[in-house]
Structure 1
Amino acid sequence: MDLCITIKGVSFFLQTGLGILGNASVLMAYAHITYKESRLQPVDRILAHLAFSNLLLLLTRGVPQTVVIFGLRNLLDDPGCKVVMYFYRINRGLSVCLTGMLSFFQALTIAPSAGRYLTKLKSHLSQLVMPTFIGLWLLNMTDCIPISVFSIAPRNGTVPAFTLNLGFCHVNFGNNMSYVVVGAVISTRDFVFVAVMLASSGYILILLHKHSRQVRSIRRTQQGTSMEMQAAKTVVMLVLLYTVFFGIDNVIWIYMLTVAQVPAVVVDMRVFFSSCYATCSPFLMISTNKKIKERMVCVAGEQSAEDSGDKPNIK
């Protein structure tokens, strides 16, 4: 096997494997928290949904990409490509939408209650989570229909113009107009939600700065406020992480929209960077979210205690 292919295969394998492990760990931690506490805060519910979407993203894109690199051909037929690409695009869209939703809800959570409308809105945040989830799913399910229509199984021979060669599937737009319009619609959606998350994160940073100035003069702060501020820092770091990979991803995407025949190495680069957030975000959640970290340590301790208790006592 060629050295470049081996390096590419190992890179995608590690990215996909670590991402699946990280997101699954976050989901199991939240499942355990739900079992113990029977209720999650709005931001925790969004984080859990984000981990779920990132897990599906890696399963529908990272796994097929990896196995194709290692030589498995004819993995999917036309209907299989349409289904896999549809769910991949939905979860990729949900990743940016949920991060935007996360930053917006966190900004509302820590915002000072300066007005009757804002106070009422904050009191109803928990009830707004599920309708927002449904709205984001419907939005992305609608936006991603064209990608499903244009997706086909790879054909022998050269790749036609205005076709994205993803290895395990081709997305054949047929002409320049469809190629540009679909790309512009998807990019517009992404940029809108990135603008929301950047604006919300900017507001969060302002509140964090004010909070840090207050802490200098007040030695002790309320535990609830401290936890909210720690959660806000996690959200800001997630937004920063997404923005970095989003920027790289879209620079490559804009280049791809300007050429009829996209080089395979460019597609591979975009696939890798577009999946980096799904892989890195759960580890950022685990390292910065005290609730997730404590739950994982607690479960590991309980498992260790059970294992030691099952061992026979040999004298």
Structure 2
Amino acid sequence: MVTRDFTIAMVFLSETIVGILGNVSLLYHHLFLHFTGYRVRFTDLIVEHLLVANTLVLLSSGIPITVVAFGWKHFLNNIGCQLVYYTHRVARGVSIGNTCLLSVFQAITISPRNSRWADLKVKAPKYIGSSIFLCWILQLLTNILFTFYVTGNWSNIKITKKKDLGLCSIVIYDRITALLNAGLLLLPDVACLGLMVWTSGFMLLLLHRHKHQIQHIHRTNISPRSSAESRATQSILVLVSTFVSLCTLSSIFNIYLALSSHPSRWLVIFIGPITLCFPTVSPYILMSHDRRVSKFFLSWIRIR
């Protein structure tokens, strides 16, 4: 294996390992707080499902891409490719959906009591579970259709036209079908991106107003609840802005990949780190703005 391929493989492997460790560690922290009776935020359930989805993305995409980068390209048959692709698509969709839900519910949480969202502030926690369940169901159902277009690279089935994606291939029947599939795959992403941009702008406006309101108040007079809400909002804003940036970049390359009949090997390789970037960095963004995490790990170290 040449040095260049080995370097690419190590990048994929490092990104996958760091991402899985971050998501599993933060998920363990949330589950520990939940089962030991600590007071949790109502958005913690969304974060937990986001962490599960991120872990599935890394397992279904990061590990196979790493194996391919190390030079073992034909180890999955048709069923294996379809299962890996389906798991990745569902997990990625749930990750996008839960990031969107997190942004929407946090915007509702910090909205003024005299705003049009006042009634939603009380009702919102009741709909979190059903919203997450609906997100999973929609992704499980809508992605079944696209698995039939996935096949293994070493399959003996005679297909007139296939697009090699490294690990597996996508069957191309005609250009119109390819465009329709690409549009159907991108439509939920675009809808979630638009909603996240709108709620992020709303939260930024509220934080700006809040900052001006407390400028004449001494820092010690700011309530802990207000400070905690501000930190949570800042965390979600950083998370959403990171996601929007990476998802936009990934969507541009995926559109080009969908329209290209013979995509270059380097394009397929370059999309991999971008796809894995958000599931890798998101748990660390959430950790950096959550004081409960630092207190938890400090107490755990002292016990050890």
Q: Which residue is 1:201 aligned to?
A: 200
Shift of 1:164: 4.2
Shift of 1:89: 0.2
**Correspondence 1:264 to 2:270:** no
Residue pair 1:56, 1:91 contacting (<8 A) in 2 also: yes
User: Aligned partners of 1:161 and 1:236: how far apart in 2?
Assistant: 46
The two structures have a TM-score, normalised by structure 1, of: 0.90
Residues 215 and 9 of structure 1, relative CA distance in 2, 3 Å threshold: same
The two structures have a TM-score, normalised by structure 2, of: 0.93
Identity %: 25
User: Aligned partners of 1:174 and 1:294: how far apart in 2?
Assistant: 55
Counterpart code for 2:68: V
Q: Which residue is 1:221 aligned to?
A: 222
Residue pair 1:54, 1:91 contacting (<8 A) in 2 also: yes
**Correspondence 1:18 to 2:51:** no
Shift of 1:38: 5.4
1:1-315 superposed matches below 5 A: 1-37=1-37, 40-114=40-114, 118-155=117-154, 163-219=162-218, 220-302=221-303, 304=304
Shift of 1:267: 1.2
Shift of 1:71: 2.7
Residues 29 and 93 of structure 1, relative CA distance in 2, 3 Å threshold: same
3-state SS, counterpart of residue 37 of structure 1: coil
Residue pair 2:163, 2:169 contacting (<8 A) in 1 also: yes
User: Aligned partners of 2:256 and 2:188: how far apart in 1?
Assistant: 18
Counterpart code for 1:28: Y
- Range 130-139 or range 161-170, more displaced: 161-170
Residues 87 and 156 of structure 1, relative CA distance in 2, 3 Å threshold: closer
Shift of 1:146: 2.5
Residue pair 1:162, 1:260 contacting (<8 A) in 2 also: no
Counterpart code for 1:21: L
Shift of 1:174: 2.6
Shift of 1:120: 3.0
Residues 184 and 11 of structure 1, relative CA distance in 2, 3 Å threshold: same
- Range 5-14 or range 173-182, more displaced: 173-182
- Root-mean-square deviation (CA, aligned residues, Å) is 2.0
Residues 216 and 150 of structure 1, relative CA distance in 2, 3 Å threshold: same
- Range 277-286 or range 168-177, more displaced: 168-177
Counterpart code for 1:241: T
Shift of 1:52: 1.0
Residues 6 and 266 of structure 1, relative CA distance in 2, 3 Å threshold: same
Q: Which residue is 1:313 aligned to?
A: none
Shift of 1:156: 7.1
User: Aligned partners of 1:35 and 1:300: how far apart in 2?
Assistant: 20
Aligned residues: 301
Residue pair 2:77, 2:154 contacting (<8 A) in 1 also: no
User: Aligned partners of 1:235 and 1:160: how far apart in 2?
Assistant: 45
User: Aligned partners of 1:34 and 1:293: how far apart in 2?
Assistant: 16
**1:132-154, CA deviations, whole angstroms, 9 ceiling, x for partnerless residues?**
01111122122212321111111
3-state SS, counterpart of residue 153 of structure 2: coil
